[in-house]
Amino acid sequence: MKITDLKCTILGGYPVVRIKTDAGIEGFGQAERSKPYLKSNVLFYRDAILGEDPTDVERVLLKIRRFGAFKPWGSAISAIEVALWDIAGKAAGVPIYKLLGGKIRDKVRVYNGNIRFPMAGQTPQDYAENMAKMKERPEGFSIIKQGIAFHSGMVREVPDFFYSEVRTGMRYPNYGLLTERGLNLMVECVAAMKDVLGDEVGLALDCGPGLTVPDAIRFAKAVEPLNVMWLEDMITGDYTPHVSAELYREVTRATSTPIHTGEQIYLRQNFKELIETRAVSIIGPDPLDIGGIAELKWVAEYADLHGIMMAPHGTLDGLLGLAALVQVSAALPQNYIAFEYPTAEDWWYDIVEGLPDPIVKNSHIDVWDAPGLGITFNVKEAKKHLTAGDGDFFD
């Protein structure tokens, strides 16, 4: 079997990859909805993989992986890798998890870091009311993640929240030392959310990037009695092209509150210091950024050897990303906690077939057994949503 074409379209804001073969088997992959500019990045790799056997996934990736990097380039590599595994599974007639060593769980736990209700304000009461709405979701989430600090409206809406001027711009531009008022407000909001959730639902917090090490330590120690699941991306995070393991290690060693990072990191090499120095308690790579399904599994296993837990990112990964997360999570070691459940616009559920209905029951997704990713496009319906100039994407 040989690769005959690599195509990319922007479908409802999501870059979608299609790899064609001379055997008539095709594979699909997807990048996050926040990257509608990624088409040219994907097509940059086309000539390098034409003529290769797509079922030799690692061999194909060796040709292009070194040309990836932290967001966005690694996202293009990741989408291609997922499409290759989709083909490999279809060619073998098995779900992808079978090619990863088989599943160790029949259902995978997911958490809510994506389904949101507008915040009325930035007071403890506002956070409590918002959390109550999420707790009542029909998915029955056992873990809910909420944004706080620099990953929330606090930086803009709370006067004198921190000592630096508020900056505007692309994706979390602020950084600085918190005021005592700002730190106290954060702790009060966490306490208010925990009052709502009790010990029935775990609370995780997306905190940055932007906190200083002293503030990260103060905050982590202040919420120790509240037993939060983790504090995520306090120092680095979204679109940060460096790991800063030595800074995270300072925080982790100073508190019993679990510290989490990893969604923006590309490749196993960039997790090496985080894991080997036990700089964090939990890592959260995204299969659509780390370099794909197999790369995420390798990192999960290496983390498990070092006593570090795994909670993969996925909020903007769409339905193809959801399928990839289900497949790899079924085969992850026992350090797996849950992955961040991605959703999509309503019409996506009309053009993708093979998902369970409902998808989430009691915070879990049953692992399906169809070959490859286990989902397919309703091409007739999907064509209605193609962008101008991409009408031949499914041809």
DSSP 269: G
Averaged over 236-255, what is the pLDDT? 96
Q: Name the pLDDT band for 86 (thresholds 50, 70, 90).
A: very high
Averaged over 311-334, what is the pLDDT? 98
Q: What are 329's two structure tokens?
A: 């999570």
Averaged over 148-176, what is the pLDDT? 94
Closest CA to 137 of 126, 149, 145: 145
List domains and CATH numbers for the chain.
Answer: 3-94+377-385 (3.30.390.10), 99-371 (3.20.20.120)
Share of the chain above pLDDT 70, in %: 100
In the prediction, which pLDDT does 338 show?
99
In the prediction, which pLDDT does 297 show?
98
In the prediction, which pLDDT does 381 show?
96
Q: What are 187's two structure tokens?
A: 């702790």
Residues 352 and 376 sit within 8 Å (Cβ to Cβ) = yes
Q: How much is the mean pLDDT over the chain?
A: 97
Strands 376-377 and 352-353, by their bridges, are: antiparallel
Q: What is the pLDDT of residues 37-71, one digit of tens each?
A: 999 999 999 999 999 999 999 999 999 999 999 98
Q: What is the pLDDT of residues 271-286, one digit of tens each?
A: 999 999 999 999 999 9
In the prediction, which pLDDT does 248 show?
98
pLDDT for 169 beyond 90: no
pLDDT for 171 beyond 90: no
pLDDT for 180 beyond 90: yes
Instruction: Tell how many helices (H) and how many strands (E) occur in the chain.
Output: 15, 14
Residues 95 and 370 sit within 8 Å (Cβ to Cβ) = yes
In the prediction, which pLDDT does 170 show?
85
pLDDT for 72 beyond 90: no
Instruction: State the residue for tokens 């692992």.
Output: 367
Residues 94 and 88 sit within 8 Å (Cβ to Cβ) = no
In the prediction, which pLDDT does 61 show?
98
- Over its C-alpha atoms, the chain yields an Rg (Å, rounded) of 21
Averaged over 316-343, what is the pLDDT? 98
Residues 6+ positions from 304 with CB-CB distance below 8 Å:
310, 333, 334, 335
In the prediction, which pLDDT does 128 show?
98
pLDDT for 256 beyond 90: yes
Closest CA to 210 of 147, 132, 286: 147
Q: What is the pLDDT of residues 3-30, one digit of tens each?
A: 999 999 999 999 999 999 999 999 999 9
Q: Name the pLDDT band for 360 (thresholds 50, 70, 90).
A: very high
